[in-house]
Chain A
Amino acid sequence: MIQTDKLLDAKGLACPMPIVRTKKAMNEMEPGQVIEVQATDKGSLADLKAWAKSSGNQYLGSSEEGDVLKHYLRKADQSEEKEEIRFPHTVTNAELKQELNREDVIVLDVREPAEYAFGHIEGAVSIPLGELEKRSGELDAEKEVIVICRTGNRSDFAAKQLADKGFTRVKNAVEGMTQWDGATEQNNA
């Protein structure tokens, strides 16, 4: 069960209704929110991917449960594209790879649960940016925390938040998961 902001039941609907309904549902969502679209139309897989690409939204992945396809999409967030990166301590993905096996390093993934579910760095801790404020206590402030998201923007916010909370060794993995070429694991069942 992947946590999302909205669930759309498009089961039993034929093309193009799953797309049309998704479009309508996403109009009512906030930027950055994630929707789960349940459909039985097999064409919805290719269609939703193509639709996300043309509409600028983010297609996260799909899973299958019996006859039902579950698609996950994240609504585009313009502010992420524009936001400057300001947190001074950063690492590249190549540097991050070197740090992965160290005992005193936590990789913190601040993307939404559905984004995390469809591919994250092995062992990464998942706390979505929106929950970090109240959940930062789950992290060991003594350790080095390397924060990652999709493109380095949400992780920039997160890194600043953690530094404000007294974490002394925080770094932002600025290149993000879009440029990550190392191993990933999934848990989208």
Chain B
Amino acid sequence: MAGKTAIIASNGTLFDAYKVYNIATAAAASDHEVAIFFTFEGLNLINKEAYGQLPLPEGKEQIAEGFAKGNVPAIPELVEMAQELNVKFIGCQMTMDLFGLEKEAFVDGIDVGGAVTFLEFAKDADVTLTF
């Protein structure tokens, strides 16, 4: 492994999803060990019901056209790619409880853990990012 990248995803719009998954897949493709900790609205990015239809940030709806033209991959496609590249997904237990969500609501293959689970991974990471 060439390095280690730790990401916190705490927001739930389409923009946030691209920021998180683009960096995550690029890091994984560069041989980084990558983990994403999904918390609060960030849980939308792995929520089976939500992740295929994430909203644009308020006032940015006109960007939808740009996404269509830009040939950017759909979020579920990026999620699949990230998992194929062994990016580790960690759902935040505390916010899942808060929102009344079970592990089954999310894409397959996620771990569920608390803040310490993420901190254990992040303590010796080369890159740590928050979105």
Contact = CB atoms under 8 A, between A and B. Distances in A.
A46 interface: no
A22 B25 CA distance: 12
Nearest to A23: B29
A78 interface: no
Given A20-B81, A20-B85, A55-B2, A15 B29 contact: no
B31 A12 contact: no
Interface stretch (B33-41, B42-50, B69-77): B69-77
Nearest to A47: B26
Contacts of A55: 2, 30-31
B71 A16 contact: no
Interface residues of B, number: 15
Contacts of A14: 70-73
A43 to B, nearest CB: 11
B29 A20 contact: yes
A51 interface: yes
A16 B26 contact: yes
Interface in B78-98: 81, 85
Given A55-B2, A55-B31, A13 B71 contact: yes
B13 interface: no
Interface residues of A, number: 14
Contacts of B128: none
Contact of A51 (B30, B70, B72, B81): B30
B70 to A, nearest CB: 6
With a 10 A CB-CB cut-off, give which of B3, B28, B29, B71 has the most chain A CB atoms: B29
A55 to B, nearest CB: 6
Contacts of A51: 29-30
Contacts of B81: 17, 20
A19 B26 contact: yes
Nearest to B84: A24
Contact of A16 (B3, B29, B31, B70): B29
A55 B70 CA distance: 27
A178 interface: no
Interface of B: 2-3, 22, 25-26, 28-31, 70-73, 81, 85
Given A51-B29, A55-B31, 4 more contacts: A13-B71, A20-B29, A23-B29, A55-B30
Shortest Cβ-Cβ A-B pairs, 9 listed: A16-B26, A23-B29, A14-B72, A20-B29, A12-B71, A19-B29, A54-B30, A16-B22, A16-B25
